[in-house]
Structure 1
Amino acid sequence: MSEETPESSAEQKPRRRQARGERRIAQLLQAAANVFCTNGYTAASTNAIAREASVSPGTLYQYFPNKEAIAVELGGRLLHQMRQMHGQAFTPANLALPLPELVDAVLDPMIEFNCRNPVFLALMHGSEIPGRIAEEHDALHASLLTSVQSLFDHHLPDHTPEDRTLKAEMTFAVVKGGLTLILAAPEGPERDAAVTELKTLVLRYLGPLIGNAPTAVAGTLTTTPTP
């Protein structure tokens, strides 16, 4: 067995400190997420976040100078994850699926992400979120809307661009509102029922438009061809 040299030991110490720092940052960000969900961004404070993380305010300030810096870091990480989910959901293969499978392929990752990260809606839709996060969220929103509109561009080529845009915006608004209700429902049967209801609503709207009229039967969704 080779002995540890002074040089290798010196290299390991910064790595260990870095790993501890990353764990501490993750702890603080999770605490901030809990506080933002409970109190909202505006009413949250660094002291409340420190208490939630079971650390002193001084420890928190070693990593973040203020609440805005915490929100920017947390929001940036969430937006990165959301962009990854977006890329996995809106693929050419998924967009070629039959309508019910397409709705599942797009909505399931989005619902899972928001249920796993309820702070996303709480933070992104706050009235006083940091400008940088608001700008990045608006860019992501525009990208998601463009992806939804591509569905209508493909299936409704004879409609005007303005009409296709309106239909995309309506679909997006329905999903956004449905996500809010899903998150408000307790985990279990009530949340599952809200998910089914959102999918039924989306299918009922999209079916006649893109040629697959959905039929809901005892909580399951099937399609029948539109004549």
Structure 2
Amino acid sequence: MTVLMAKAPSQDRGQRRVDRLLDAAADLILVHGAEGLKMDMVAKQAATSPGSLYQFFPNRAALLTALAERYGAEIEAIAQSTLQRQAAVPPTSIEQAARDFLEPFLVFYEANPAYVILTEASDRIFAGAGYDFGEDDQVARTLNQVLQPFTASAHQARLQTVCEMLITLTHTAIAAAFKLPTAAKRDWLAELDTLISGYLRSLV
């Protein structure tokens, strides 16, 4: 889906303004949550006038949709880059394939906590707005491609279900780990790795 802006950026300067507005929205989501975000907050955070904000985004739904689509494009780029890397240097086991695939997403989630907050609230924010927050589905399909060569023929039919569970599990664990101290977060992610390994062993 292409977000409907009030005014599409026609040049590099305009795109920079849009990026600044989206960056401001992401920063504010960390403080107020996705549902607490207000348009006047974004304008103030981006050091621009409300009128300038509304030139590009007619309402909050349009702004959040644009932010979600920007994250989605980054996630798709990560997935495709990982596919290319693994095609060039194939992993030797299903565990290595999964870890190599998931690690860049863990880094992305850590660097973009607003994305995880946005996905957690997506059912409420985008209800009736016509936006399908389908990034997790795309990642799960790509993970399916990564794991398929290692999956026993008897388990191929359940591979997609396992991939969807792994992506959901990873999202949930990362969201829960945000505010944990470093040592507790390390333990939490180690437990996540143990759970993922258990799912993977059920496929071979």
Aligned to 1:164: 159
Q: 1:182 aligns with which of 155, 174, 177?
A: 177
Q: 1:44 aligns with which of 10, 29, 37?
A: 37
Matched, 1:97 2:92: yes
How many residues of Structure 1 are paired with residues of Structure 2 in the alignment? 189
Identical residues among aligned pairs (%): 23
Q: 1:114 aligns with which of 109, 117, 128?
A: 109
Tell me how far apart the structure 1 counterparts of residues 53 and 163 of structure 2 sit (CA, whole Å). 43
Aligned to 2:18: 25
The two structures, once aligned, show a CA RMSD in angstroms of: 2.8
Tell me how far apart the structure 2 counterparts of residues 22 and 164 of structure 1 sit (CA, whole Å). 40
Higher strand fraction: Structure 1 or Structure 2?
1
Aligned to 1:61: 54
Tell me how far apart the structure 2 counterparts of residues 175 and 152 of structure 1 sit (CA, whole Å). 19
Aligned to 2:196: 202
Alignment of 1:139-158 (within 5 A): 140-150=135-145, 151=147, 154-158=150-154
| Structure number, greater radius of gyration | 1
- C-alpha deviation, 1:145, in angstroms: 2.3
Tell me how far apart the structure 2 counterparts of residues 115 and 141 of structure 1 sit (CA, whole Å). 16
- C-alpha deviation, 1:185, in angstroms: 3.0
Unaligned runs of 5+ in 1: 1-16, 211-227
Aligned to 2:75: 82
Q: 2:125 aligns with which of 120, 125, 128?
A: 128
Task: Give the secondary-structure state (helix, strand or coil) at the position aligned to 1:112.
Answer: helix
- C-alpha deviation, 1:79, in angstroms: 0.5
- C-alpha deviation, 1:208, in angstroms: 5.4
Task: Give the secondary-structure state (helix, strand or coil) at the position aligned to 1:43.
Answer: coil
**For structure 1, which segment, 42-51 or 105-114, has the greater mean C-alpha deviation from structure 2 after superposition?**
42-51
- C-alpha deviation, 1:80, in angstroms: 0.5
Tell me how far apart the structure 2 counterparts of residues 57 and 51 of structure 1 sit (CA, whole Å). 8
Unaligned runs of 5+ in 2: 1-9
Tell me how far apart the structure 1 counterparts of residues 155 and 184 of structure 2 sit (CA, whole Å). 38
TM-score if structure 1 supplies the norm length? 0.69
- C-alpha deviation, 1:154, in angstroms: 4.4
Task: Give the secondary-structure state (helix, strand or coil) at the position aligned to 1:41.
Answer: coil
TM-score if structure 2 supplies the norm length? 0.76
- C-alpha deviation, 1:153, in angstroms: 7.0
- C-alpha deviation, 1:85, in angstroms: 0.8
The superposition leaves residues 130-164 of structure 1 with CA deviations (integer Å, 9 ceiling, x where unpaired) of 734x42x32x3333222334425741212362x43
